[in-house]
Amino acid sequence: MLVMSFAVFGNIMTTTSKPDQLLLRFCPIDTQNGICRATVRKLAEHLGFTGEAQVIHYAVRKLAKEVLPGYEADDGELMSKQLAAIREAIPQGRAKSVKSSLF
């Protein structure tokens, strides 16, 4: 949700927006899929963070890097026509090694 407010100071108009927010309810005890607030506080202290929100951001970002692909999925394997076009554009059978082209 984006909330815009406008304030006029003389001839200058400024805009402000409220950042996205998420309510997080802690579990009473740590489980495989949940965490209690005491553990988040311990993590913040251990990692040297100034607040619990930093721990949550850090953990979710780390999970995203681990789970989400780093690139968009392609269309799959090339079709015969596409392979033929590539072979036609690039001369075949005349490949030289880097070593032979340097010396």
103 belongs to a structural domain: no
80 belongs to a structural domain: no
pLDDT (0 to 100) of residue 67: 94
pLDDT (tens digit per residue) in 87-97: 888 776 766 66
- CB count within 10 Å of CB 45 equals 10
Contacts for 55 with CB less than 8 Å, ≥ 6 apart: 40, 43, 44, 47, 49
pLDDT (tens digit per residue) in 6-54: 444 455 556 678 888 989 999 999 999 999 999 999 999 999 999 999 9
49 belongs to a structural domain: yes
Query: How many domains is the chain partitioned into structurally?
Result: 1
pLDDT (0 to 100) of residue 88: 84
99 belongs to a structural domain: no
pTM over 0.85: no
CA–CA dist 28, 62 (Å, integer): 24
Angle at CA of residue 54, ends 49 and 56, nearest 5°: 130
pLDDT (0 to 100) of residue 103: 59
54 belongs to a structural domain: yes
84 belongs to a structural domain: no
47 belongs to a structural domain: yes
